[in-house]
Each structure stands twice: as structure tokens, then as C-alpha cells.
Chains A and B, each alone.
Chain A
Amino acid sequence: MAQITRNFTSEGPLHLAAREALESAFDQGWADPRKLSHQSAKARVLKNEAIESIASNLHISAEKLEFIGEARLGHYYSIAGLLRPQDLLLHSVVDKSEILALARSRASMGLPVSLDGQIDISPALAPPSVDRVFAVQIANGETGVIQNYTEIIREFPEARIACDFSSAGIALPLPERWDSAFFDSKSWQGPEGVGILAINSAHKWINPLPHIGPARVPGSVSLPLIMASAIALEAKKKEFDGQAIRLREISKYLRKEISSTIAHCDIAGNLESSLPHINSLSFLYVEGEELLRQLDNAGYALDSGSACSADDLAPSHVLAAMGVLTHGNIRITLHASSTQDEVRDLVQEIRRVVEGIRSR
């Protein structure tokens, strides 16, 4: 009999509502909306409807939105569009690697974080001698830690603000002041390959890549996927609050059970100031890859920030920056379908595997 794998990785299946609509979306939305044919006109209407729906659910007007087919490029568009050659880029050391890569190529200041993952803005509080762009992470995708972004932005009234909503999605509201923001459709169980760039201050943002004509982004993004993303967002918006409460309770149970029954477990961040569905746990004296492999054999799929699980054999820059143990790490991401019973069984399995590895 085939074993059922319970999914606790950061990826999840497409939202059911979007999955059901996908075939019809591909059936109707195949034409190029920029052309003159009847089918193109129909595609144009479908595209506008989808964008209006997404705009309404994100509380951003439709003309401010751009769609990017290679979603991770959205970080670059969002930040580099605001950044002039002489500007200083402020960012945190727990930003996504795409943002760290951009920071390395420009004049930049990486702000440290505390043990609970909160950005320490003090190194940047001196009066600036140059114009600044602040890449503000709203929530961390690896630990779930939510930043005090409203307060952070308030401290930098002169800086242009690029918000990274790629992990926070619709869990948190837009700040009072922002210049660009980036969303990833995956954060609301939409399809992979739909990045959403919001440009609030068109006069401050310039397409950072070589381009001809007024287009702000290449526009090579699948219309059926934008439609599916809009449907997923619409559905997620309705169920989000109830799910968040339920998943927070399960995370609370998970963290309490683990810390009370397994010695030397380092939990990244406080649940009270984190997204409700992400739990990053590190077990002292345990090899992350071995832990992941044994849990996979037992039917549980999880992620890890440990060095032995990374392509470059480097430990997670997020955990290292926080001062959280980087080895023996597992990340448990809860999904809409996750239940407390599943998590109870998972905790038992983690306990068994950790004890086994430590007793060798």
C-alpha cells in the first residue's frame, strides 16, 4: 500500500476554488490581450476582471498593479525601481536571498535582528547624508516573524519604502506609507509563477531593467494563472480569519508539546508576533538532513534551514542572524487542511526520531 505523506513543507496545493476554475481559465484566456482579435478582446476583459478582483482584495487600485511571471524577480523590480545609483539601500540581514544579492551589488546597510527576529533599526537612525530606500520585510518566510513595520517606516520619513509582502500575503495590512510592494500569489494558495508588484508612487519608481516603451514590466505572465490567482485570493480572503485562528492554536499546541517533551529545542521567534502557520524548530546535537530523511520515511514532508539540507551547504542566514541554532532544524508549515491530530502524531514522530539520533 502506498504511504500517505503529510505535507508540512512551505509549498501546498493550489486552492481548490482555483483548481476547479483553471481548466476554464485556460480554455478562455489563451489569446494575447494586447491584440485586436475577438478572442483577444475577450482575454482583455478576463484580464481586467481578474486584476480588478485582486486589486480590490489587496486594497490597492488596479492601475498600481503589475504582474511578473518569474515571481522572485519581483523583489528586484520592487526595490531597484526605487533605487537611484547614488542611494543607500537599507534592508535587514534576514531578507530573502534575492534582496541580499541586490544589496551586495549596491551601496547598502544590512540591519541586524534580535534573538526574536525583530529588526534593530538603531544603526540607521543617524541623520542620512544620502537618499535612502528601505526594503522592509513584513514577515519572514522562514520563521514567520512579523516585523513592527508600521513603527519602522515611521522612523524613516525621508526614505522610499519597498515592502516585501511575499510571505505575509494577505495576513497583514499595508502600512500607512509605502512606495512599492511585492506579493507572491503562492501566499494565498494561488499558482506559482504569478508575482504581483504594486507601485504606489509612480513618480518615484523607474523600470530598473533595459526597456523600450512605457511598459513597467515585461508582461510575459500567463493570463489563466492570473485568473486562477484572483479566484484563489477571493476564496482565501473569505476563509482567512477563521483559518488563522485555528492554525495559531495548532502552532501553540505544537510549540508547547515540543518544548515540554524534547530537551534542547530552540524555537525561532515568538508565536505571538509571528504568522500563525510557520514553526521553525532546531534540535541540539541532531543532524538536520538525517532528521528530515527519517521523518520523510515516516510519512512527513518538512523543510529545513540546516546547512546539510542547503544547496550550498551554508546554514540558514536567517537562523544564524537571529542567533538561533542552525543545525537540526526543521520548518513545519501548517496548511488549511492541517489538523491538531496530524500535528500530535508528527510531534510523537519527531520525539522518536530526535531521541534515536541523539542516543547513537
Chain B
Amino acid sequence: MKPTREVDCLGMRCPLPIIVIAKEILNSNNGELLRLLSDDPATWPDLQAWSRMTGNTVSRQSETNFIVVRQNQSGQDSR
């Protein structure tokens, strides 16, 4: 599957990339893939923690390129 949207957070400092992707996830459908671009060093560790806390899944394609998938399940953050 390919990402349906690209969310560009390059140049943003933490926690902004996580706040932005959380809002974008709200506007996506279950199972939809989003590409997140971020060069903040806290993004990858925080994406993984966010995934654990909200149930959405994440993967890292490169240092600045991440895939985020919305998962509708209990514990889903509804921010």
C-alpha cells in the first residue's frame, strides 16, 4: 500500500511533528497510510511511544521519512 498523503514537518521541533500527525490521523480513515517527513531527532523515539500509547502503527523508512497508519482500536487517541 502507498501513503495517501504526505505530512511535511521538516524544520519543526518536538513535540510539533507528533501534534501535527495526531491531528492528521484524526482526518484519515482506518488503515490509511500517511507519510510523515520530520528531521527532529525526537520524532522517531516519540512516534514509537505515541504508537504504544494510541494504538496507531508507525515505521521508519529513513532518518526523516516515516509511515503512520491509523488503527481504530481501544486506546485510540481522539485528540
Contacts and interface: CB of A to CB of B under 8 A. Distances in A.
A306 B14 contact: yes
Contacts of A286: 15
Contacts of A264: 53-54, 77
B41 A325 contact: no
B38 to A, nearest CB: 12
B19 A326 contact: no
B68 interface: no
A73 B77 CA distance: 45
Interface in B23-46: 40-42, 45-46
A315 interface: yes
A268 to B, nearest CB: 10
Contacts, number: 63
A224 interface: no
Given A285-B18, A285-B79, A315-B41, A325 B13 contact: no
A357 to B, nearest CB: 10
A314 interface: yes
A287 B77 contact: no
B49 interface: yes
Contacts of A308: 13-14
Interface in B54-79: 54, 77, 79
Given A285-B18, A323-B49, 10 more contacts: A264-B54, A264-B77, A284-B18, A284-B50, A307-B13, A315-B45, A324-B49, A325-B45, A325-B50, A326-B45
Interface of B: 13-15, 18-19, 22, 40-42, 45-46, 48-50, 52-54, 77, 79
Interface of A: 115, 264, 266, 282, 284-287, 306-308, 313-315, 319-320, 323-328, 358
